[in-house]
Amino acid sequence: MFEMDKRLTQDTVVLGDLALCRVLLMNDSRYPWLILVPRCAAASEVFDLTAEQQQQLWQEASLLGQVLKGLYQADKINIASLGNVVSQLHVHVVVRMQSDQAWPAPVWGRGEAQPYLAEDIAQLSVRLRTTLIEYGLVAVEEGV
């Protein structure tokens, strides 16, 4: 049975589900930052997934990266799976701009998070959903 790690839950807002992954918005308005969590019980490494699930994960991460790059006119999209703090398998898709306060260093551990306002989350969710539909990345549930 799929259950999200509490640390992911406390730092993010659920936007919805794609075919394989739950899509989370990192609640830090300094960086547009999504996290994909495969809805598979006890997966901590990519190799814990079936070959088909691995392909689906990479497809979802790549398409989200493409969508975010277009939406934000990003200089770079960082896609990473670390898991040193949260062992549950999850993939970060982070918009990077040469003008962001962490550039060119990683965003982790830089300053204090600036949470989104509720209306900003609602607007971002609609904007992402609309764009994902245009790209043919269909959501399974509410949100994305």
Q: Which amino acid is at 124?
A: L
Task: Flag whether pLDDT at 139 surpasses 70.
Answer: no
Kindly state the DSSP code that residue 10 receives in the 8-state scheme: H
Q: Which amino acid is at 93?
A: V
- Count CB atoms within 10 A of the CB of residue 94: 23
Instruction: Give pLDDT tens digits for 80-97.
Output: 999 888 999 999 999 999
> Is residue 35 a contact partner of residue 54, using CB atoms and an 8 Å limit?
no
Q: Give me the pLDDT at residue 138, please.
A: 53
Instruction: Give pLDDT tens digits for 34-44.
Output: 999 999 998 99
- Residue ranges of domains in the chain, CATH in brackets: 6-134 (3.30.428.10)
Instruction: Give pLDDT tens digits for 46-72.
Output: 999 999 999 999 999 999 999 999 999
Comparing C-alpha atoms, which of 53, 69, 62, 65 is closest to residue 19?
Answer: 53
Q: What's the number of CA atoms in the CB half-sphere (13 Å) around residue 75?
A: 8
SS3 of 2, please? coil
Q: How confident is the model at residue 116 (pLDDT cuts 50, 70, 90)?
A: very high
User: Residues of the chain with pLDDT > 90: what percent?
Assistant: 69
Q: Give me the pLDDT at residue 140, please.
A: 41
Distance CA 74, CA 112 (A): 22
